Every structure is written in structure tokens, then in C-alpha cells.
Amino acid sequence: QTVSEVILVNSSKLNQYLESKPNISQSTGAECALVIFYYKWCPFSAKYAKHFNALARVYPQFHVLAIDAYGLNSVNMRYGLVGIPSVLFFHNGKVVGKVNDSEPTVDGFVTYISQLTGMSPVGSTNITESDLSGPLSSEPEPRFD
């Protein structure tokens, strides 16, 4: 089953998606996931959102996940996150790549994923109105302490 929308997850759901399968072989294949760790109030996270939302359509064969990592110190430490937003690529539950791009674009993500995996996009790389509105918001939420 393929989902063409970013899946918003909490830490336990993230762990379920990233659970390593021990009996993976060339013939059975492993699951891949692209995960953005973001803060709802962060303007840089909001800047990534529309491009990241489009990736779920572009790569329906991957799990495209988003987790609000604010306050999730154990998650941040587990994946070595020092800056937000961070986009990590997982294969069979293990980090195999990190996107380093301060000016995110769908094309930039596609180039990175193609170089990392050799896989070409399946869907359109054009930003649509639905990419702008979510599920990952392209407008930062107000933050109150």
C-alpha cells in the first residue's frame, strides 16, 4: 500500500515505522523512510514543509514521515540531531543519509535521493496547493512559553 501524503507521527509510531526487520534479503527488500524532524513553531521547519509534503507524492514507495521533535530529547539524542529541521533517510530502520540543505526544494530532495538510492521519482515534482496546506504546515505556529 502506498500513501501519497506525509504521515505525522509521535515517537512510538516513528519507532514502529523504523523497526528493523532482521530477515531482509535482496529478494524481500527493506522498507525505506524519509523523516523530517521539525518544530511546529520553527520558521525554518515551515520553509521545508511544502517541499517535504510534495515528496510523499514524488516517492510513494517510501514512508514519508514527520515528527515534531520539540521536547523529545531521547529522540533527538538517538538520531544525533543538532539542528532542526533535520531530514534523515532510513533503510531497514537505520540512518543511511542526512539531507544538508539550507534552501530546500523538491528538485534538491530528488537529486539527493536519486544519488543516495539510484531511484527516480514516480510522481510529479511540482508543488501543488495541497502541498502548501499540509499535512506539514508551511506556516509556523505561534510559540508561547
The pLDDT tens digits for 51-100 are 999 999 899 988 999 999 999 999 999 999 988 999 999 998 999 999 88
Cβ contact 88:55 at 8 Å: no
Give the C-alpha separation, 29 to 10, whole Å: 26
Q: How far is 46 from 81, CA to CA, in rounded Å? A: 18
Q: What's the rounded Cα separation, in Å, for the pair 33 and 63?
A: 4
Domain residue ranges in the chain: 7-19+30-133
Say if residue 120 is exposed, middle or buried (CB neighbours under 10 Å; 0-12, 13-18, 19+): exposed
Rounded Cα distance between 17 and 84, Å, is 21
d(CA 2, CA 39): 26
27 pLDDT higher than 60: no
Q: Is the pLDDT of residue 1 over 50?
A: no
Which element (helix H / strand E) includes 47?
helix 43-58
Q: What is the pLDDT of residues 66-76, one digit of tens each?
A: 999 999 999 99
pTM of the model: 0.89
Over residues 48-53, the mean pLDDT reads 92
Cell 505561534, residue located: 142
Looking at residue 4, its pLDDT comes to 81
- Terminal CA-to-CA distance of the chain, rounded, Å? 41
Among 3.20.20.80, 3.40.640.10, 3.40.30.10, 1.10.3470.10, name the CATH number for the domain at 7-19+30-133. Answer: 3.40.30.10
- Does residue 2 surpass a pLDDT of 70? no
Question: Max Cα separation, the chain?
Answer: 51
